[in-house]
């Protein structure tokens, strides 16, 4: 369900030279929580929304998959 979202996040982090630890600081989530989510061990929409917010993006559900997209403010 979150496969595309996870790929979007990984790509964003790589392009911005950002670690899970740094994402945790921005999202106010524990690094372990992010690692569990990113590995697929956790499919929490709440975690996904906090990650998206921390990246200045929004999360949408389309065709059975969640995706990370630009917000109007980041365009």
For residue 56, give Cα distances in angstroms to 1, 4, 9, 11, 40.
21, 17, 12, 15, 22
Q: β-strand 57-62 against 65-70: which pairing, if any?
A: antiparallel
Instruction: Check: CB of residue 66 under 8 Å from CB of residue 1.
Output: yes
Higher pLDDT, 69 or 27: 27
**Number of domains the chain contains:** 1
Structural domain of 19: 3-74
* Segment 4-63, tens digit of pLDDT: 999 999 999 999 999 999 999 999 999 999 999 999 999 999 999 999 999 999 998 888
Burial category of 48 from C-beta neighbours within 10 Å (exposed 0-12, middle 13-18, buried 19 and up)? buried
The CATH number that applies at residue 45 is: 1.10.260
What band does 67 get if pLDDT is binned at 50, 70 and 90? Answer: confident
pTM (2 d.p.) = 0.86
CA distance 68 to 62: 11
């Amino acid at each position: 369900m979150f496969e595309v979202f996870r790929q979007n996040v990984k790509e964003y982090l790589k392009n911005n030279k950002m670690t899970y630890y740094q994402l945790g600081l921005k999202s106010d989530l524990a690094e372990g929580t992010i690692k569990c989510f990113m590995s697929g061990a956790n499919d929490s929409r709440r975690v996904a929304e906090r990650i998206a917010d921390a990246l200045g993006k929004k999360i949408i559900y389309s065709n059975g998959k969640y995706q990370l997209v630009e917000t109007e403010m980041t365009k």
